[in-house]
Amino acid sequence: MDINDYLTSFRADGERIQMLTTQDMSLPIPCCEGWSLGDLVGHLCGVLTMINTVVESGAPPTQRPIVPADDALATFYGEALERLDTTLTNTDPNAAGWNWSQGPGVAEFWFRRAAHEMAIHRWDAEAAVNDCRPFGQAMASDGIDEWFDVYLRRGAGRAEEPINPGGTIHVHCTDTEGEWWAAMVDSEIELLREHKKGDVVARGSASDLFLVLWGRQPTSVVEVLGDAPVLDAWCAAAGG
């Protein structure tokens, strides 16, 4: 996916969530225990505001964004969404700037992160109203790649003790290109984007795999071969 793809996805999912802010904010989100639709929208208000601040300044955030009460969430969300859309549209992806990944310190990180943040939480919001829609193949495959290359590395790096999932993992998309193999030794991740046998293999559509890795769907929606508990351990290692 390129920058325009990320922006298109960000806008579409952001607008879909905005439509759902007209629903009862007390509706529970089945895949996020303890969260209501209002909690989710409040979370996104904070995330959108934080990303906008970081992209504009190029520096890490210095304080947590202040989010309004439930009765003002929908308006605040719409304004925050529009503000970040404008900021990203007018930002050079190659501009130097802080991000929390182990990759290059450039603004491009936030285009991708904003798109996937909205994508997974669009699913969450739809789950609250029982109207979930699958992800496009390219978006889901890229989301899996971000999960491996960004979130796994972040989770391992933040762990107080070395993470040991107990084996290697191989994830294989059956509806589009995309294969990943990973091993973890002393919280250091070896990642290959190729076919290689793992102690556990997860096969399925890119959309289903993306949702399983993020804990939004049970592993039963994909084909799991080998040591199933290893898959659970890898999902936990991402810290998401």
pLDDT in tens, 188-222: 889 999 999 999 999 999 999 999 999 999 999 99
Provide mean pLDDT across the span 14-21: 98
Q: Which of 65-69, 117-121, 181-185 has the highest mean pLDDT?
A: 117-121
Residue 129 and residue 167: Cα distance in Å, rounded? 37
Give domain 3-128's CATH superfamily: dinb family like domain (1.20.120.450)
User: Residue 145 has what pLDDT?
Assistant: 98
Could you tell me what percent of the chain has a pLDDT over 90? 83
User: Residue 125 has what pLDDT?
Assistant: 98
**What residue spans define the domains of the chain?**
3-128, 148-237
Taking residue 158's Cβ as centre, other Cβ atoms within 10 Å add up to 11
User: Residue 42 has what pLDDT?
Assistant: 96
Question: Do 3-128 and 148-237 agree at the fold level?
Answer: no
Q: Which of 119, 44, 64, 114 is nearest to 86 (CA)?
A: 114
pLDDT at residue 158 greater than cutoff 90: no
pLDDT at residue 135 greater than cutoff 80: yes
User: Residue 238 has what pLDDT?
Assistant: 76
> What letters, b where the CB count within 10 A reaches 16 and e where it falls short, cover 116-139?
bbbbbbbbbbbbbeeebeebbbeb
User: Residue 152 has what pLDDT?
Assistant: 87
- Give 188's strand partners: 185
pLDDT at residue 186 greater than cutoff 90: no
Write the CA distances from 38 to 66, 79, 87, 116, 202, integer angstroms.
Answer: 15, 16, 25, 20, 33
Helix (H/G/I), strand (E/B), else coil: 217 = coil
Architecture of domain 148-237: 2-Layer Sandwich (3.30)
Q: Note the pLDDT tens digit of each residue in 24-46.
A: 999 999 999 999 999 999 999 99
| Long-range contacts, 91-99 (Cβ 8 Å, 24+) | 91/55, 93/3, 95/58, 96/58, 97/54, 97/55, 97/57, 97/58, 97/59, 98/54, 98/58, 98/59, 98/60, 99/54
